[in-house]
Structure 1
Amino acid sequence: MHSLYDWWNRTFRNSMTKPGYTTDQHPRILEGNDLEALAKYMKSDSCRNVFLMLGAGVSTSAGIPDFRSPGTGLYANLARLNLPFPEAVFEIGFFKKNPIPFYTLAKELYPGRFRPTLTHSFITLLHSHSLLHTCFTQNIDTLERRAGVPAHKIIEAHGSFATQRCIECKTPFDAEKIKKAVLSEEIEIPRCERRRCRGLVKPDIVFFGEGVCLSLTKSYGVANCWSSFPTSSTSLSAIFEKRTY
């Protein structure tokens, strides 16, 4: 996974050290390193493929807490769940032993409780003008989809609540059934409906201990055709976080 991060480092972060350049080998495309210069370029005929990278800050303005902010982040407010450590709520090994804390949290975060922001509307605007190539997002809230961005334009690096399946046999699970289970007055833990399985069901969110979203691993090739790659509220490094158990 580090190859994508290294590529981004070389082509975007290094470009910010030289006004108007993307890399040392490429000619000037921006008049400066400010928002006005970027907007001017995106309105020009030269900008045809826009790639976006979204982080948690895009959704915090919709009322969704991020994970790590001291005092206000999700991890700072999970004491009521009696977890051995905050990240356990998103750890696959812990989920297999005790899925209740995750589904308690999922009830608070489930799609439908929050509205897309102006940033999400901007992404939809880019798509409507045939400028959006791909939207990479670290967010699991599906607000890009709710704003009208087509699913095939989105790569959800950490997965999302959009789909769900059995963690054992990988059989997809009905969206309405899991919604009913999650939002019920008393939490119901959804299980696979195959009689010989009955494994736990969870949304297709990438937990600690699982592989990175398949759609992200298939995305390396798309980076070669980018003409504009704005980032919003992401350090990107969380995508490549590795944990030992």
Structure 2
Amino acid sequence: MHKILRRRERREEIWSPNHAIELIKSSKKIVVLTGAGISTSCGIPDFRSENGLYAELREKNEFDLEDPHQMFDIHYFKQHPHVFYSFAHKIYPSNFQPSPCHRFLALLEQKDKLLRNYTQNIDGLERKAGVQRVLQCHGSFSTATCVQCRTKVPGQDIEADILSQRVPYCRACAKAAPPRPKRKKAKKRKSGWQSDESEKEPPPNPSIMKPDITFFGEGLISDFDDLLSKDTEQADLLLIIGTSLQVAPVSEVVSLMPHSIPQVRLQVSKHIH
């Protein structure tokens, strides 16, 4: 998809909450871009704020990471899956309920005003609130895939492992593994009983299951570019809620929208035009 990044000028006639409300009322095809800020009131930390997830990982250092980003790095995960699964229960969706903002998105959809919600969140609370027109750009815990054979299962299949802080292994790989050789009987020697080396039972070799959330080193889901290309042609309003827009390519949604489409940004930190 061709990308042209341009700086937007602030529209002077739109400056108050009341103006934003009127825009929402008059719009019929709203694209909403959401980030971790809409879930912090649910008890889920954001990633990059002063008290966010990365800051907590860096400060506590309980997982002995060189960099907190390693928690979501695909190469580190494949080598040290136990680190992620020692932590994943803290952000697992079943522990949380949707916020008023999630329910606002559901209301937009009920009023047939929501064209699509592009969420950077992996908590799945949009769907839990009833939103169907949502693209989870960074994936979610709703499904999981084997990193070796690519078998996909419902996320509930590994829920018990996540909540118990265990590494879940692929059952398909375990079934396909060759049968273990039978034990040989120990041989009696003059010096007494001694086990033969071949008696040692080879360890099982199933592969690791990974939740279908996008780690660093992985691409976005395949639908992102196609849906965004269609939505930019139809949208009449862009709402940006609870995101610092620091992670590409989702952050580029703002620049890819035609300049004729109003944008309303709701966030705690100050935004410079």
| TM-score, reference length from structure 2 | 0.73
Q: Which residue of 2 aligns with 1:27?
A: none
2:12 to 19, 26, 37: 19
1:149 to 114, 120, 131: 131
Distance (whole Å) between structure 2 residues aligned to residue 41 and residue 219 of structure 1: 23
2:20 is the alignment partner of 1:38 = yes
2:114 to 113, 117, 132: 132
1:48 alignment partner, SS class: coil
Deviations 1:186-227 (A, max 9, x none): x22112222347321111111111112223232232211101
Q: Does the 8 A contact of 1:166 with 1:201 survive in 2?
A: yes
Q: 1:161 to 1:2 in 2, by over 3 A?
A: farther
* Structure 1: 4+ residue segments shifted above 3 A: none
Q: Does the 8 A contact of 1:58 with 1:232 survive in 2?
A: yes
Distance (whole Å) between structure 2 residues aligned to residue 124 and residue 212 of structure 1: 24
Q: Does the 8 A contact of 2:86 with 2:166 survive in 1?
A: no
1:226 to 235, 240, 263: 235
The structure with more strand, counted as a fraction of residues: 2
Q: Which residue of 1 aligns with 2:199?
A: none
Q: What letter is aligned with 1:224?
A: E
Q: Does the 8 A contact of 1:75 with 1:86 survive in 2?
A: yes
Distance (whole Å) between structure 2 residues aligned to residue 214 and residue 200 of structure 1: 23
2:170 is the alignment partner of 1:192 = yes
2:168 alignment partner, SS class: coil
2:162 is the alignment partner of 1:182 = yes
2:224 to 216, 229, 237: 216
**Structure 1 runs not aligned, ≥5 long:** 21-31
- The CA deviation at 1:134 is 0.2
Of residues 117-126 and 219-228 in structure 1, the stretch that sits farther from structure 2 once superposed is 219-228
2:231 is the alignment partner of 1:237 = no
| TM-score, reference length from structure 1 | 0.81
Deviations 1:30-55 (A, max 9, x none): xx2322112112223xx210110001
- The CA deviation at 1:19 is 2.5
Distance (whole Å) between structure 1 residues aligned to residue 17 and residue 128 of structure 2: 26
Deviations 1:94-127 (A, max 9, x none): 0000111111221111111111111111000001
Q: 1:36 to 1:173 in 2, by over 3 A?
A: same
Q: Does the 8 A contact of 1:158 with 1:239 survive in 2?
A: no
Q: Which residue of 1 aligns with 2:3?
A: 3
Deviations 1:140-199 (A, max 9, x none): 11111111111xx11112111122111222211232220011112xx2211222234732
Q: Does the 8 A contact of 2:142 with 2:156 survive in 1?
A: no
Q: What letter is aligned with 1:192?
A: C
Give the paired residue count: 216
1:120 to 94, 102, 111: 102
Q: Does the 8 A contact of 1:140 with 1:161 survive in 2?
A: yes
Q: Which residue of 2 aligns with 1:103?
A: 85
Report % sequence identity: 37
Distance (whole Å) between structure 2 residues aligned to residue 130 and residue 220 of structure 1: 19
Distance (whole Å) between structure 1 residues aligned to residue 219 and residue 143 of structure 2: 16
**Structure 2 runs not aligned, ≥5 long:** 178-205, 251-273
2:24 is the alignment partner of 1:49 = no
Q: Does the 8 A contact of 1:62 with 1:115 survive in 2?
A: yes
Question: What root-mean-square deviation, in Å, do the aligned CA atoms of Structure 1 and Structure 2 show?
Answer: 2.0
2:148 alignment partner, SS class: coil
Q: Which residue of 2 aligns with 1:76?
A: 55
Of residues 124-133 and 153-162 in structure 1, the stretch that sits farther from structure 2 once superposed is 153-162
Q: 1:138 to 1:2 in 2, by over 3 A?
A: farther
- The CA deviation at 1:2 is 8.6
